[in-house]
Structure 1
Amino acid sequence: MRKTRDNILRFIDFFHPPFRRWIDLQTFRYLACGGSNQLLNIFLYWFCFNIILLKQDVPLPDMKPIGGPIASFIFASAFTIPIGFVLSKYVVFQESNLRGRIQLFRYMVLTGTCFILNYWMLKLFVNVMHIFPTVSQTITIVLLAIFSYIVQRFFTFRVKNAEPELPFPDTGE
């Protein structure tokens, strides 16, 4: 795993120098990892919607069918959520000193929040605004990526202070 991570870091970091003036290394790594993962998500979404589901809804026994756009979103997410966590933990935010289980819990809370937001945004863009499903998913991904970066950087994978703060100033007495 370490060798794979080091190879990914070398590859991403190779492309950073031209952008160094505008984007710090961690943000660049986030954009590279998150962007690659989201490109995979868009491809899987398109593949499921157009090839697997043939742009049809998914019938469920004794229930209302799931719309093709939502089913495709669920399919793509099943692959890209675990990949996203691994890339965030081991490539982008590797300096975080929080326990892995805490990171995973926080990441899953963030993912659940983004999942719900993604669902409602897809409903809005596809059903209300009548934007093509793949375009709607792409717009949604961009908006949620900005939100996700902020939450991951300052909450999910934050660096915990090494020394606890004292409740009262130390007067040296």
Structure 2
Amino acid sequence: MIVLIPAYEPTEKMLKLVAQLKEKTDYKILIVDDGSGDSFSQLFNKAEEDGCIVLHHPVNKGKGAALKTGFSYIHSNCEPDKVVCADSDGQHHVNDIIKLADAIDSNKPEMVLGVRQFEGDVPFKSRFGNSISAFTFKMATGIVLNDTQTGLRGYPYELLPWLCSVQGERFEYEQNLLLKSKKSGISIKQLPIATIYDNNNKGTHFRPINDSISVLLPILKFCSSSILSFCIDFVLLLAFNKLLGGLFFCIVFARVISSTFNYIVNKVFVFDAKDTSTKQSAPKYFGLALAILSLNYCMMKLFIEVIHMHIIPAKILTEITLFTISYTVQKLFIFKKDNDIKLTPS
């Protein structure tokens, strides 16, 4: 078993974790210093004296980059073994690390998450950050995870090449792993762990605003694309109606142009799927657009005429539901990237 600890400007808590692991286990410990600087060299030197392998980034690159440095080193220099990732800030109890390590199945493409319960006195920025990323993950995949930002995660050795291939350099990397897992044939197991926050969790380097935006950015871009396409559709409808007349044809012409614009923007900017074949993605996209249009009519008719809902809440509920469906289908099926690694159970 190998414990991988990414560390940026750590405290004595990192050495305490190392001591507890040495006392209770025979796990190998790999620490990646993510550009902490000379003032922290004494801590890393002490960790080396205690038997840890320590790798150094010359400058701070982010947690995702540090994890990938560790995964790459393990894959190239260590005997095949299971890997547990733990944070350096004292949030993970050594007994939970051991419990998670025991739950890893070396013969199964599965990641194991140590899921915090978020009960009691939990700092606001921790609750806020996890709520944002959990919402994003559910929107993108339809899967409910209680803790998408946990740093306590376990992987079998066979997943290391995939772990190194996933994009992301900072906190968004761990979210990307979850988003990519289903499409890559990797299952997720959740284990409850203790929630430990010492001194209001001041040891964490998670930035509530910047890092939450980076995690939420795909949905923000999708919202912007949808709003801009709606504006184009609305303006063109008015213009065609004034110039040509005939409401039906004006609606069709405006919708064709705005949908084409939306397709291009989503492919190039929202989902970064420039390499995805247009011949394959375009028919799927416009098929989805027709399906969404039909569903819009059917849902509105159901809410208003059958359930007798007022038109305003009916419209809001319909649009939220169809927005979620559209985003999920486009991300997972229409604009999925061709370079994802697909793993199959051994």
**TM-score bracket relative to the smaller structure:** 0.5 to 0.7
* Per-residue deviation, 1:39: 5.1
Q: Which has the higher helix share?
A: 1
> Residues 110 and 148 of structure 1 are in contact (CA less than 8 Å); yes or no, is this contact kept in structure 2?
yes
Question: 220, 226, 251: which one pairs with 1:28?
Answer: 220
Partner of residue 328 from structure 2, selected from 146, 150, 156: 150
Which residue of structure 2 aligns with residue 131 of structure 1? 311
Deviation string for 1:56-111 (max 9, x for gaps)? xx9xxxxxxxxx9x999767634432222122122212335321111101101211
Q: Distance in 1 between matches of 2:250 and 2:320?
A: 18
Q: Is the 8 A contact 2:268 2:274 kept in 1?
A: no
* Cα 1:36–1:19 shift into 2, 3 Å: farther
Aligned equivalent of 2:129: none
> Sequence identity, in percent?
22
The Cα of 1:149 is off from its aligned counterpart by 0.3
Deviations 1:83-142 (A, max 9, x none): 22122122212335321111101101211211210121232244443526xx75454322
Q: Do the aligned partners of residues 34 and 91 (structure 1) sit closer, same or farther apart at CA in structure 2, a change above 3 Å counting?
A: same
Q: Aligned runs of 1:86-101 on 2, under 5 Å?
A: 86-101=264-279
Q: Distance in 2 between matches of 1:124 and 1:26?
A: 31
1:1-173 superposed matches below 5 A: 20-22=211-213, 23-38=215-230, 43=234, 77-128=255-306, 129=308, 131=311, 136-161=314-339
- Secondary structure of the residue that 1:21 maps to in structure 2? helix
Contact 1:97/1:158 (8 A) holds in 2: no
* Count of matched residue pairs: 133
- For the residue of structure 1 that corresponds to 2:311, the secondary structure is coil
TM-score normalized by the length of structure 2? 0.31
Structure showing the higher strand proportion among its residues: 2
Q: Which runs of 5+ in 2 are unaligned?
A: 1-207
The 1:29–1:94 alpha-carbon spacing in structure 2 relative to 1, beyond 3 Å, is same
Find the aligned partners of 1:150 and 1:28 in 2 and give their Cα distance: 14
Higher RCO (C-alpha 8 Å, min separation 6): 1
Check the 8 A contact 1:106/1:156 in 2, yes or no: yes
Worse-superposed segment, 153-162 or 17-26: 17-26
| Structure 1 unmatched runs, 5+ | 1-16, 53-57, 59-67
d(CA) in 1 for partners of 2:253, 2:303: 19
In structure 2, what is the Cα distance between the partners aligned to 1:136 and 1:39? 21
